[in-house]
Chain A
């Protein structure tokens, strides 16, 4: 998953709540989506390793 996109969407949802979160139907929908996103992001946080790939170059002296 694209962490950056998920995180941005969650930020947008939080902003929406702070500015307009009055509509209950809309609010509940977005709340659920927000929880989904937060959960996915947290899962990604649990990943520990970086995947290091060495680029072999022809020009390496």
Chain B
């Protein structure tokens, strides 16, 4: 096209802009945002600064084109049309697309995905499954080379023994990480119930956002969520977070902490076992004691009964003794008394005093009027006997021969 020799400013700028339209508009230009301004709620302008060399590209767009939040200092990649604004006479880029690159972009993508998954309910506490207190079999997904592997197994060994650990070695960063981790989850997911672990552990050491990319990958996070076996995730250090952390059934802060969450402590369990047996013994002993008291009480009641009997018997015997002590002498006295009387009435004694016993025939005579004059009577003296004839009775009878 032939250019006339003299043209107006507007015409010149048109010429320039025509040439500028030949610059490919799909090339991405990377730089750092600075001096960001939004005017009237619709016009966005910022300087895109060249990080290395210097060089500033003025960029313009409208708010409605902004799909990402921009901030000064962010690294972005823009595409658009280069032109000189007629109005201000300045070279600028009319931005068509803008995207975040580097840490900023990853962070943004991460936050967006995090919000999306949260809204879907993948982080809900209610869906988190409990892990068994005493696992028999653990599935371990981590890198063989990482310190995480050694840390996890060491702490596991310190706390608990006799566990089966099914270890699936994977890359935890780099291009192979995501497919390998997904494959590991597939492996465990399809195991039969007898071979399936009680809990899975996905773990790695710390790192930056780029290093942790696999743990922020949506498909990996979803694999954790839909795992048939509860998953413990332990990534890096205390302050690191990843999407897998939020989706996990149990979030551990580090690989060592993952071992602590997964396995009980021998010492604590031993303590509990002892406490339980002690408790049981206590109750049993209290029980036995109560019973023993009942038996003893009964026995002591019985023995009290027996002692009471014994006491009564003893006191009765005593009384008996006392009594007998009294009536034996009594009896002796009475016998003595009786004997005395008897001795008094002993006929021989009487006879010795000069009395005699007179009998008529066999009849003992007391009353003289029973006698008949002229009959014979026998007389017994203290010594000897004689017969006599009755002469007179009470003064009458045969005359006395003088």
Contact = CB atoms under 8 A, between A and B. Distances in A.
B134 A50 contact: no
B284 A27 contact: yes
Contacts of A46: 161
Interface in B204-240: none
Nearest to B269: A45
Interface in B258-298: 266, 269-270, 273-274, 276-277, 279-281, 283-284, 287-288, 291
Contacts of B157: 48-50
Given A45-B269, A50-B157, A21 B134 contact: no
Q: For the side of the interface on B, what is the size category?
A: 35 or more
B284 A53 contact: no
A22 B274 CA distance: 22
A14 B274 CA distance: 11
B119 to A, nearest CB: 33
Interface residues of A, number: 38
Contacts, number: 111
B276 A3 contact: no
A59 B283 CA distance: 59
Contacts of B161: 45-50
Given A45-B270, A49-B157, A60-B169, A55 B187 contact: yes
Contacts of A53: 164-167
Contact of B280 (A3, A4, A31, A52): A31
Contacts of A4: 132-134, 136
Given A57-B168, A59-B183, A31 B162 contact: no
Contact of A31 (B156, B170, B284): B284
Interface centre among A10, A31, A48, A52 (most CB of B within 10 A): A52
Interface in A4-61: 4, 7, 10-11, 13-14, 17-18, 21-22, 24, 27-28, 30-31, 34-35, 38, 41-42, 44-55, 57, 59-61
Contact of B167 (A21, A48, A55, A59): A55
A28 B284 contact: yes
Given A53-B164, A61-B179, A34 B169 contact: no
Contacts of B270: 42, 45
Contacts of A57: 168, 180, 183-184, 187
A3 B134 contact: yes
B280 A50 contact: no
Interface of A: 2-4, 7, 10-11, 13-14, 17-18, 21-22, 24, 27-28, 30-31, 34-35, 38, 41-42, 44-55, 57, 59-61
